[in-house]
Amino acid sequence: MTRCLLMHPREAWGDQGRIDREWSALGYTARPDRSRATAEYDAFAQIFRSAGVQIEWLHPAAGLTLDAIYVRDASVVSDRGVVLCRMGKPDREHEPAVQGEAFETLGLEVLGSIEGAGRLEGGDVVWLAQDTLAVGIGYRTNAEGLEQLASLLGPGVEILPVHLPHWRGHGDVFHLMSILSPIDGDLALVYSPLMPVTFREELRARGYELVEVPDEELDMGPNAVALGPRRVVLEAANGETRHRLEAAGVEVITYGGDEISRKGLGGPTCLTRPLAREP
C-alpha cells in the first residue's frame, strides 16, 4: 500500500455528546469513549505514516454518522478508477457521495455509482489478483449491485460471486472481509467455518495457502490489512491469529482497537480505503 484514505474519529464523531446520542442506534456493542478513541486512532495512523503510506484525510460532511470512520465500505478502487457504492445499511447512505467529492479533489477518476435496487459495500469486495475480484453476496451487497459493479469495471475483470451465510442476521456487520483478508498473492487469512466450500476450494486451486483464525478470535481476527506482501496490521487482542500469521512468515504490526474497532465491529481493513499499491 502506498496511498490510503482515512477518517479520524476526532472529525467523524464530533464530541462525546454526539457519540452518546448515536452509538446504540447504529448497532455498536458499547459506548465509545472519544478521548480513548482519539489516542487509539493516532497510534493507528502512525503505523501507516511509518510505513511510508501517503494518507489522504476524509473530512466531515452533512449526513455522515459515526460509521464514517469505516471508509472501506463506501467505495471500490480499481486500476481503472473508483466505483461509489450504495450502502446496505441505510444510516450510511450519504458516505459514497462524500467520498466521491473527495476523490475528485484528489484527482482520482470516478467511474460511476451503484444505483437503484443495487446494493454494494466495499467490505464485500476483495481483489485476489489485479484482474480477479471476489464479491460477497449477503445482507450488505446484492446480485444487482454485483452486476452494476461488473458493468462499471468493464471487460477483463473476472468476478467471483461468494454467497455469504445468514450467520447473525440482517442487522449484523458481516462482509466477505469478515472471513477473508488477502495477505499476499498466495496467502490469505480466513475463517473457514463460515466460508462457502466452493469458494474455499477456489482459493486453494488458485494456489493460496490459508491461515486459519481460531473460533475465539472470529470478531476481529480475520480482519487484517496488508501494508505490503506478508506485512499486515492486526488488532492487538488477536494473539493466536498473530502467532499463526507469524508462523507463516508474516510480519504483524498491532494496534489497540477497543474503541475504534471492537465497539463498532470494524477492524483495520474497515478503517482503511487503500488508493494505490506497489505494482
Set of cell numbers at residue 18: 454526539
- DSSP assignment of 49-118, as one string? HHTTPEEEE----TT--GGGG-GGGGEEEETTEEEE-B-SSGGGTTHHHHHHHHHHHTT--EEEE--TT-
pLDDT of residue 278: 66
Rounded-to-10 torsion of CA 255, 256, 261, 263: 170
Per DSSP, the three-state class of 161 is: strand
pLDDT of residue 172: 77
CATH of the domain at 151: 3.75.10.10
pLDDT of residue 171: 73
Per-residue pLDDT of the chain (279 residues; tens, 9 = 90+): 999 999 999 999 999 999 999 999 999 999 999 999 999 999 999 999 999 999 999 999 999 999 999 999 999 999 999 999 999 999 999 999 999 999 999 999 999 999 999 999 999 999 999 899 999 999 999 999 999 999 999 999 999 999 999 987 777 789 999 999 999 999 999 999 999 999 999 999 999 999 999 999 999 999 999 999 999 999 999 999 999 999 999 999 999 999 999 999 999 999 999 998 865
Distance CA 122, CA 139 (A): 13
The whole domain housing 53 covers 3-276
pLDDT of residue 277: 80
Per DSSP, the three-state class of 203 is: helix
Number of domains observed in the structure of the chain: 1
pLDDT of residue 170: 77
Which among 234, 237, 223 is positioned nearest to 175, based on CA atoms?
223
Rounded-to-10 torsion of CA 249, 253, 258, 264: -80
Which among 123, 77, 71 is positioned nearest to 95, based on CA atoms?
71
SS3 content of the chain, % helix, strand, coil (to 5): 35, 25, 40
pLDDT of residue 168: 78
pLDDT of residue 213: 98
The owner of cell 500500500 is: 1
